[in-house]
Amino acid sequence: MDEEVIVKIKDFITNNRLDFSGSGSDLNGNCVILCGYLLHIEKDIKDLLVTEVFINFPSEVDDELYRVFEFAEANNYGAWWKSPEAKKMYKF
């Protein structure tokens, strides 16, 4: 993944105050947001997890992101990010 995309994803996480230190529904909710956004920008979670964005995160985060990404991809979560509602709710 190129540096420009990594910066874009880091900015998205920061600007939308996504926190991956929680567990349960807190972690899941933030993973759903990030995975939907990644699908919107046509990036795969596998590419992101090997970057410095997530390199030091616990394996629980990686596992949850893989699980959520697969579900989000199968259910076209990326499409929602084209809606006016998404643009009102999130900075991207």
Residue pLDDT tens, the chain, 92 long = 789 999 999 999 999 999 998 889 989 999 999 999 999 999 998 888 878 887 777 888 989 999 999 999 999 999 999 999 999 999 99
- State the Cα–Cα distance between residues 38 and 12, nearest whole angstrom: 10
For 32, the domain range is 3-89
List CB contacts of 75: < 8 A, sequence separation 6 or more: none
CA–CA distance, 52 with 79 (Å, rounded to integer): 27
User: How far apart are the two ends of the chain, measured CA to CA in Å?
Assistant: 18
- pTM value is 0.90
Considering its fold, how many domains does the chain have in total? 1
- Classified as helix, coil or strand, 14 is helix
Q: Per-residue b/e over 49-64, b at no fewer than 16 CB within 10 Å?
A: beeebbeeeeeebeeb
